[in-house]
Amino acid sequence: MKKHRIVLLAVSLLLIATGALAQEISRLSAQFKNFDGTETTTAVAATGTASVPGTGGALAYSKAVFVPFLSGGQVMYITISAVGDNHNGESNFISCNIDGPGGVGSLATVCNPTPTSFGVDIAPPGWIGLTHHFGYEVTYTSNGLTGLSSGDGGGGTSDEHDNAYYYTWCKRVSAGGHTVNLRLGNHTGPTVCPGCAGANNNVFFEKAFFYIDVSATPPFGACTKGM
């Protein structure tokens, strides 16, 4: 009988520990945009430096939310799920910030965990590259350069329209009111590429969903670097 009690006690302690580690994610906002034949677009270049990341581009989405106080602190998750286009081989960049003045990023507000550095996607500090494709012919154009004839990682022939467009950031935040901002930008800016029949350098997203969630600080990693 005593042995059974020990087993029951061990099982109970395990269930209590499992419950204590469980993390509930609460959805603060779920919105959509561009399901009416419209698109969000810009030809303004994404910019940013190590000291002032997440600048340039255009404000593409902004939402004010209230974050409840949660024991141990709060972690916010920001997700965009959409369809993306890019003209003339332009990189389609997006930047997330929370409470950036005027919707523009800063060192303290951008969502990127390493806001001071360029990534392998050539996105400026504070930005990420969501889509970047080549339309291969005899020569092709990419990010303002024309007459190119070699590929980029063996990508092959590609279409620049209607590509999967999905990303989630996480960022530790304080309880209270916050404004989430997403900015859209390209690599080159509004330069019209020579020989492209007047085509523009715009990047786009359409048929988009935006989700903003929050949880208490996870016990094994609160937006910390993984191995």
DSSP letter, residue 8:
H
pLDDT digits (tens, 9 = 90+) for 50-75: 999 999 999 999 999 999 999 989 99
Domain limits of the chain?
27-216
Q: What angle do CA 16, 18, 19 make, to 5 degrees?
A: 65
Identify the pLDDT of residue 161: 82
Q: What angle do CA 100, 73, 97 make, to 5 degrees?
A: 15
Output the CA–CA distances (angstroms, integers) from residue 146 to 89, 92, 149, 211, in the order listed. Answer: 10, 18, 9, 38
pLDDT digits (tens, 9 = 90+) for 157-173: 445 788 999 999 999 99
Nearest 5°: phi and psi at 163?
A: -105, 150
- Lowest average pLDDT, out of 2-16, 29-43, 117-131, 183-197, goes to 2-16
Q: pLDDT class for 18, splitting at 50, 70, 90?
A: very low
Predicted TM-score (pTM) of the model is 0.83
- pLDDT over 80 at 205, yes or no: yes
- pLDDT over 60 at 155, yes or no: no
Identify the pLDDT of residue 83: 96
Residue with tokens 């989430």: 180
Spatial CB neighbours of 180, under 8 Å, sequence gap ≥ 6: 61, 62, 63, 64, 65, 76, 78, 96, 97, 98, 212
- β-pairing, 176-185 vs 58-67, is antiparallel
Identify the pLDDT of residue 222: 87
